[in-house]
Amino acid sequence: MKQTVVKKITPYMFILPFFLIFCIFLVYPIFESFYLSFTAAEGSTSSWVGLDNFRQIFSDALFWKSMLNTVIILLVQVPVMLFLAFLLAVAVNNKNIKGRSIFRLAIFMPVLIDLVTYSIVFSIIFNDQYGVLNYILLMLHLPGIHWIQNPIWAKVTIIIAITWRWTGYNAIILLAGLQSIPDSIYEAADIDGVSGVKKFFLITMPMLKPIFLFCAIMSIIGTLQLFTEPFLLTNGGQPDNATETPVLFIYQYAFQSFHFGYASAAAYVLTAIVAILSYLQICVSKGGEI
């Protein structure tokens, strides 16, 4: 009897450390920040203000500008990235390429590089004075671009950076999707005399739809939480807040001027927006079913 109890408890003991840490570092902060969002907590001071923070956020021009920035980045970046990722996935799925596994590893590499490192490297590449990019432009007799000082180019810089980082990752996921399509479907189509283009649009695309949806949702959620790149690459959302993002906004309120209450409220507004967007996306595409 005793032994069986031990046996039964053992697996729970293994997951116990995780749940302890999970509760202390995730569950507790979630509730604490929910409480904070109804207070004017600032530094070590605090007072209950009810819904005031939320009212202020809804009329905070900077918060909505940061949302708008993210949406602009998202609308350009996610489709471009998924398109590139799909091309890459098809390419490395081709049986005629030699050393496929090396290519697969190579396109996955960017995501393994530390966020901070890559942001700093990009900030050097895009430096308008001695960055390699402007050097190449000048060699081609093109005018150099103030990548990080110009509001539009700064967004472009961010888009290029996150596309570089995440395209390979999505390509690998799409590749897994491509490989999960049974050959028998293509064979059946061959027997029916379906052309290559038609096979692509009638078989490959529909079969990949749930994977695309997964990639799109993950990318959108990821982009809405954009932080490191604008923090390091464009000096905290500069210029003129053209690359300010909601998470950066929250960080600046919480940890640069210590307005914990307001920052918590902004965090909850952002979470609500992410949740609603994800739900809508799943609804629109009917749960990703074919």
Partner 1 sequence: MFNDRQYRKKELGAMVLSKKLAALLASIFFVAVLTAGCGGSSSTANKSDSAGPVTIKVAAWNDAADSLKAEIEGFQKKYPDIKVEMQYVDNNYTKIMPRLASGSEVPDVIQTQNRDFPAFMKKFPGEFVDISDKVAKLKDKFVDSSWDPVTVDGKVYAMPWDLGPSAIFYRTDMFKEAGINVDAIETWDDYIAAGQKIKEHFGGKVAMTGYAPDFDIFEIGFNELGGNYATKDGKISLKSDQAKQALTLYKKLVETGTAIDIKDWNGRITAIKNNKIASIPFGVWFAGTIANSAADQRGKWGVMQLPAFTKGGNHSANLGGSILTITKQSKNQDAAWKFIEYCLATDEGETVMLKYGLFPSYKPFYDNAAFKNKDEYFGEPLYQFFAKQTDAILPIHRGPIMLDADKPLKDMISGVIAGRNIDEAIDTAAQEIAKKTGLTVQ
Q: Which residues sit at the interface with partner 1, rule CB under 8 A?
A: 5, 8-9, 12, 16, 19-20, 23-24, 42-45, 56, 62, 123, 127-130, 148-151, 235-236, 238-242, 252, 255-260
8-state DSSP, 239: S
Q: How far is the CB of 6 from partner 1 (least distance, A)?
A: 12
Q: How many CB atoms lie within 10 A of CB 163?
A: 18
Do residues 163 and 84 make contact, with C-beta atoms less than 8 angstroms apart? yes
Q: How far is the CB of 151 from partner 1 (least distance, A)?
A: 5
Element (H, E) at 231: none
Residue among 257 and 271 whose Cβ is closer to partner 1: 257
Nearest one of 67, 68, 42 to 53, comparing CA atoms: 42
Residue among 235 and 285 whose Cβ is closer to partner 1: 235
Residue among 17 and 287 whose Cβ is closer to partner 1: 17
Q: How far is the CB of 238 from partner 1 (least distance, A)?
A: 4
Q: How many CB atoms lie within 10 A of CB 41?
A: 24
Q: How far is the CB of 241 from partner 1 (least distance, A)?
A: 6
Residue among 9 and 116 whose Cβ is closer to partner 1: 9
Classify residue 108 by burial, with Cβ atoms within 10 Å: 0-12, 13-18, 19+.
middle
> What CA–CA distance (Å, rounded) separates 105 from 102?
5
Q: How far is the CB of 12 from partner 1 (least distance, A)?
A: 5
Do residues 170 and 219 make contact, with C-beta atoms less than 8 angstroms apart? yes
Residue among 258 and 279 whose Cβ is closer to partner 1: 258
